[in-house]
Structure 1
Amino acid sequence: MKRLGSVIAALVLGLAGLTACGGDDSGYGSAPAGTASKAPAAAKLATADVGDYGKIVVDGNGRTVYVFDKDTSGTSNCSGDCLAKWPVVAAGAGTPQLDGIDASLVSTITRSDGSKQLAIKGLPLYLFASDSQPGEAKGQAVGGVWWVVGADGQKITTKPGASGNGYGY
């Protein structure tokens, strides 16, 4: 009988432990002890002088952002393998923080998976996976369909020059 009581006690403690590890829809309960889960921070966009392209739009880490010619206003056509090379600029929570960009140019689109992506003049924004640090624009003109974006929201179609802003492959 004593053994049965021990087994039941172990099961109860095990279930309690599993329940404590599970999250709930509040966003809390899955964070490590001593920390609180937070909603993703608001996205940041700014401008920076990059290569021969002048002042272009960059993300909060200073990485160059791009638009894709196959997208239409408000709709992303980059999915699957495309997203591995061209990750989205996630919208985060709240109003994006902008530095050097007119707020009227920036919006958010809802992707087919329900996630939110930042857009400029309605066109979704992406990063290029091969741009590993601020100041790189290796994605410029890739496939003739990926372009950096000027501070005015217009894509810049200048081809990469010999100044180190080449294709990166």
Structure 2
Amino acid sequence: MIKQQLAGAAIISMSLLVVGCANAYQSSEGSQSYSSSKVGAITQQTAAGNILADAQGMTLYTFDKDSQGISKCYGPCEQKWPPLKSKVEIDEMDFSTVSRKDGSLQLRYKGQPLYLWVGDKKPGDTTGNGIKGVWHIVPVVK
């Protein structure tokens, strides 16, 4: 009887978790969340503070050499700093998209193209912050 009750509670909990993740992400710190189904970005509490991350919790970065909201990171650069791509055009809150040379869409935050860093291995890692003085985490102020 107790095993059946625990199994039922686990199924209900998993169902609620799946539904919650499909709609939006809310960090445990109660920080701002964005619709992961459309925007693909969340806020993540890290040792570096409250920062922007992709829907899997991987830290996002901006590149100082980008200008006028257009990416300058191609070839070997984009191998190390994959652009955060979007399947649909976005223009909501502080987020928008910009077309890359290959026609794909890259997500921008406040006009800045967003990137991942291949050196980050798990959610919350910020090992790309400050590399060559031109790569920066994206702080999110509450």
**TM-score > 0.5 by shorter chain:** yes
Secondary structure of the equivalent of 2:137?
Answer: strand
1:106-148 deviation line (CA, Å, top 9, x unaligned):
1101111111000011110000011111010000000000000
Quick one: distance in 2 between partners of 1:93 and 1:107? 10
**For the pair shown, which has the larger CA radius of gyration, 1 or 2?**
1
Aligned equivalents of 1:87, 1:70: Cα separation in 2: 15
Which consecutive residues of structure 1, in runs of 5 or more, have no partner in the other structure? 1-40, 97-102, 153-169
Q: Does 1:145 align with 2:131?
A: no
In structure 1, C-alpha distance between the alignment counterparts of 2:104 and 2:57, rounded to whole Å: 22
Deviating above 4 A after TM superposition, structure 1's stretches of 4 or more consecutive aligned residues are none
SS of the equivalent of 2:88 reads coil
The whole-number CA distance in structure 2 between the counterparts of 1:141 and 1:59 is 19
> What amino acid is the match of 2:64?
D
Q: Residues 42 and 104 of structure 1: is their aligned pair in 2 closer, same or farther, counting only changes over 3 Å?
A: closer
The alignment status of 1:48 with 2:44, answered yes or no, reads yes
Identity of aligned residues (%): 39
Deviation of the 1:95 alpha carbon: 4.8
CA RMSD of aligned residues (A): 1.7
Distance in structure 2 (CA, Å) of the matches to 1:119 and 1:62? 17
Match of 2:108 in 1: 119
Report 1:16-165 matches (<5 A). Answer: 42-51=38-47, 53-93=48-88, 95=90, 103-152=92-141
Which segments of 5 or more consecutive residues in structure 2 lack a partner in the other structure? 1-36
Contact 1:74 1:123 in 2 (8 A): yes
Contact preservation (8 Å) 2:39, 2:95: no
The two structures have a TM-score, normalised by structure 1, of 0.58
Partner SS for 1:47? strand
